[in-house]
């Protein structure tokens, strides 16, 4: 089978993975600016726990409702985000608390999996992901969600960046509606990505581009262009390499693709 035929098969998965990576890197940039990187890991693990609980419920009910896992992920992730904002973020030792919560959610996820033996086969896919096996429906939903979120974030980028600055300096007094939409979008996009593309893909896309672009960007515009370029081009490159190979898995290739593009942009001033 030639490369063009493969592109036809993955006509939804490929653009979905590229756009979702771009959306996630924009989230990662703002959360990093707010000094809340550890919190996003907790949010991701909380959403993963909710997704697993949705899968358990599907098994117990004998159903196969994709939306049940999504609702589970959004519910547990939303509770995690709310509690970590209200109870943790103002504490000086919050990173240690975030790591403790991460371990708790990871333990509960493993416990739920162990108590449901038929779930064990799903866990490798849940954590490491396989973009090549994503259904067209999941890819289309991810594509739409990522596209809408990217349009909103880029149109509000300067204002969201100002809010991030105010949050770090504790001068953010009035809750702006755009920040509420950003938080809700973060929860939705992150959960959708974890459910359809895996935890590794989601966490990597959140922070790889930010790590490389932060020290080489001259201004906010340059920084924004670099993170989107690293995440989108890197994902496209990694996915394409995976398709050309019969043994290389997609998500590790996508992560390495982002790192390679990040290194190239890092060397170029």
**Per-residue pLDDT reduced to its tens digit, 186-203:** 999 999 998 888 888 999
Closest to 230 (Cα-Cα) out of 197, 261, 190:
261
| pLDDT at res. 84 | 76
| pLDDT at res. 91 | 57
What is the percent of the chain with per-residue pLDDT over 70, rounded to a whole number? 87
CA 80 vs CA 6, 9, 89, 173, 214: distances in Å:
39, 37, 12, 23, 28
| pLDDT at res. 246 | 73
What is the percent of the chain with per-residue pLDDT over 90, rounded to a whole number? 32
Provide the Cα torsion 87, 91, 96, 97; round to 10°.
-10
197: phi > 0 → left, psi -120 to 50 → alpha, else beta; which?
alpha
Question: Whole-number mean pLDDT of the chain?
Answer: 84
The 10s digit of each residue's pLDDT in 11-28 is: 888 999 999 999 999 999
| pLDDT at res. 57 | 84
| pLDDT at res. 174 | 61
| pLDDT at res. 172 | 62
Q: To 5 degrees, how large is the angle CA 146–CA 33–CA 48?
A: 50
Q: Is 186 helix (H, G, I), strand (E, B) or coil?
A: helix
| pLDDT at res. 110 | 82
| Residues in the chain, pLDDT under 70 | 1-3, 87-93, 117-130, 132, 170-174, 268-269
Give backbone dihedrals phi and psi of 12, rounded to 5 degrees, phi first.
Answer: -100, -40
Place of tokens 């159903």: 63
| pLDDT at res. 40 | 87
Q: Which domains does the chain have, with CATH numbers?
A: 3-267 (1.10.3470.10)
The Cα–Cα gap between 71 and 79 comes to 12
| pLDDT at res. 128 | 55
pTM (2 d.p.): 0.88
């Amino acid at each position: 089978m030639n490369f063009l035929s493969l592109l036809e098969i993955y006509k939804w998965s490929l653009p979905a993975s590229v756009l979702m990576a771009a959306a996630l890197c924009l989230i990662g940039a703002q959360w990093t600016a707010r000094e809340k990187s550890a919190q996003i890991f907790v949010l991701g693990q909380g959403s993963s726990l909710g997704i697993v609980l949705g899968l358990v419920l599907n098994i117990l009910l004998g159903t196969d409702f994709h939306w049940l896992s999504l609702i589970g992920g959004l519910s547990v992730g939303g509770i995690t985000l709310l509690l970590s904002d209200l109870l943790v973020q103002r504490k000086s030792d919050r990173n240690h608390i975030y790591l403790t919560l991460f371990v708790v959610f990871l333990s509960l996820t493993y416990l739920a999996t162990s108590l449901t033996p038929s779930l064990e086969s799903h866990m490798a896919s849940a954590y490491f992901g396989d973009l090549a096996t994503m259904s067209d429906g999941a890819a289309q939903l991810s594509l739409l969600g990522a596209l809408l979120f990217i349009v909103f974030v880029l149109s509000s980028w300067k204002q969201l960046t100002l809010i991030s600055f105010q949050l770090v300096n504790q001068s953010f007094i009035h809750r702006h509606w755009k920040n509420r939409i950003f938080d809700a979008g973060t929860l939705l996009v992150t959960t959708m990505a974890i459910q359809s593309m895996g935890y590794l893909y989601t966490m990597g896309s959140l922070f790889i581009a930010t790590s490389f672009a932060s020290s080489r960007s001259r201004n906010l515009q340059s920084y924004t262009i670099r993170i989107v370029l690293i995440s989108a081009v890197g994902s496209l490159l990694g996915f394409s390499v995976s398709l050309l190979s019969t043994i290389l898995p997609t998500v590790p290739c996508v992560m390495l693709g982002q790192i390679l593009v990040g290194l190239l942009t890092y060397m170029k001033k």
